[in-house]
Amino acid sequence: MAKGDSALSGEEEKFSTHYFPPSDNDREICFKGRYLSIYNKQTEHYETHIDNDTPSTEYKKYKVPAGYTVYVRGGTVYFEV
């Protein structure tokens, strides 16, 4: 299994750093940790940008619109399937 596959299939996966490329469909991601960015390179729009000094310890759900890249640093995530 490749890095990120568990998270995409709905299982918790911890990352020091990882990015998920854009999808053709809207998605929802659950995140806890230090850094999360949901960004569209074409429009330069941030749907979500979180940079915690102290990592969060409870999951929170975020919308990932189609065409947006997800960047994670020092966090644990899973996608709702």
Q: Quick check: 37 and 17 in contact, CB under 8 A?
A: no
Token pair for 11? 């299982």
Residues 6+ away with beta carbon under 8 Å from 73? 15, 16, 17, 33, 34, 35
pLDDT single digits (tens) 58-75: 999 999 999 999 999 999
pLDDT at 1 over 90: no
List of domains in the chain: 5-79 (2.60.120)
Q: pTM of the full predicted structure?
A: 0.94
pLDDT single digits (tens) 6-54: 999 999 999 999 999 999 999 999 999 999 999 999 999 999 999 999 9
Please report, for residues 26, 41, 53, 55, the alpha-carbon distance to residue 5 in angstroms, rounded to integers and kept in the order given: 17, 23, 27, 23
Distance of alpha carbon 44 from alpha carbon 59, whole angstroms: 26
